[in-house]
Amino acid sequence: MIEALQQKAATLIEALPYMRRFAGETLVVKYGGHAMSNDEAAVSFAQDLVLLQSIGIKVVVVHGGGPQIQTMLDRVGIKSTFKNGYRVTDEATMEIVRMVLVGKVNQEIVSRINKVGGRAMGLSGADGGLLIGRQVTVGGEDVGRVGVIEQVDDSEIRLLTDGGLIPVIAPVAVDADGEPLNINADLAAGAVAAHLKARKLLLMTDVDGVLDADGQVMSTLESADIGRMIDDGTLSGGMIPKMKCSADAVAAGVRKVHIVNGRIKHAMLLELFTDSGVGTEVI
């Protein structure tokens, strides 16, 4: 029993310098829809957020919800397709995206954080002009109401974090005409992290990290190598927007981006507060 307790103490000692280093800093966490599928890990995710906040870290959550959107689209009989990792979003699909992300997933995350002792507040990127974007094509093809972020108004985010709350943001933006846009959650999180000059951006997903050409998890990846890895096919599908947002965030001043498997219990703490980590860091 003493040895087990001493091991717990050793873990705390290992974490202490990281806790000191990150206190007072801003951490943006992208919480992916696939990572939410494990109920036990979802509870530990909420607990981790509360712990991070309790040691003085300002935490901002931007969430996805792809699987939940797909489930609802299937239920109402709307066919959905993807191009280069982006969901083709016509008007009918946009209605479902808003309903699921803002009305369901966002509130579930907020409730879970509050249930374990935190104080969270849900936001949509469309609230108060928080996220302003523009419609884009992907690979030269029309993908409907898909957009990228051009402007972030961080006033409400800072008001909440300074007041001891955790903002939980749904990645639905508006364009210059006030029309809704479906924003890839990775890109939305990257834009928020860049604008806030966050110390770190964590991308919680359903894979263990970035895999090299041999299928092994890369502990560290330099952002300068991302373009080459996309060109040679090492990075593909849904990993492409993750890596693009990682490169953009690092270029904008975010110190590091971490890609972590959110289905692992306490994955954030293991990545942030241990020497070895459990995912891939992009520098």
Q: Are 157 and 60 in contact (CB under 8 A)?
A: yes
**167: pLDDT strictly greater than 90:** yes
**Phi, psi for residue 73 in degrees, rounded to 5:** -60, -40
Residue 118, in any domain of the structure: yes
pLDDT tens digits, one per residue of 73-93:
999 999 988 887 789 999 999
Q: What is the mean pLDDT of residues 247-272?
A: 90
Residue 112, in any domain of the structure: yes
Residue 2, in any domain of the structure: no
Looking at the 3D structure of the chain, how many domains does it have? 1
pLDDT range class, residue 240, cuts 50, 70, 90: confident
Q: What is the pLDDT of residue 170?
A: 97
3-state secondary structure of 144: strand
* Structural domain harbouring 257: 14-282
Residue 4, in any domain of the structure: no
Residue 7, in any domain of the structure: no
**109: pLDDT strictly greater than 90:** yes
Lowest mean pLDDT segment, chosen from 10-19, 91-100, 140-149, 241-250: 10-19
**What are residue 132's DSSP bridge partners?**
151, 174
pLDDT range class, residue 29, cuts 50, 70, 90: very high
Task: Output the domain CATH number for residue 212.
Answer: 3.40.1160.10
Phi-psi region of 174 (alpha: psi -120 to 50; beta: other; left: phi over 0): beta
Of the CA atoms within 13 Å of residue 113, those in its CB half-sphere come to 26
Residue 105, in any domain of the structure: yes
Q: Are 280 and 246 in contact (CB under 8 A)?
A: no
**Phi, psi for residue 32 in degrees, rounded to 5:** -80, 155
Q: Are 148 and 183 in contact (CB under 8 A)?
A: yes
CA dihedral for 155, 160, 162, 168, sign (positive or negative): negative
Residue 168, in any domain of the structure: yes
**145: pLDDT strictly greater than 90:** yes
Q: What is the pLDDT of residue 214?
A: 83
pLDDT tens digits, one per residue of 130-142:
999 999 998 888 9
Residue 34, in any domain of the structure: yes
Q: What is the pLDDT of residue 211?
A: 85
Q: What is the pLDDT of residue 120?
A: 97
pLDDT range class, residue 13, cuts 50, 70, 90: confident
Q: What is the pLDDT of residue 274?
A: 85
Q: Residue type for 150, please?
A: E
**What are residue 204's DSSP bridge partners?**
31, 260
Q: Residue type for 134, please?
A: R
pLDDT tens digits, one per residue of 196-233:
999 999 999 888 888 888 888 888 989 898 988 888 88
pTM of the model as a whole: 0.90
**38: pLDDT strictly greater than 80:** no
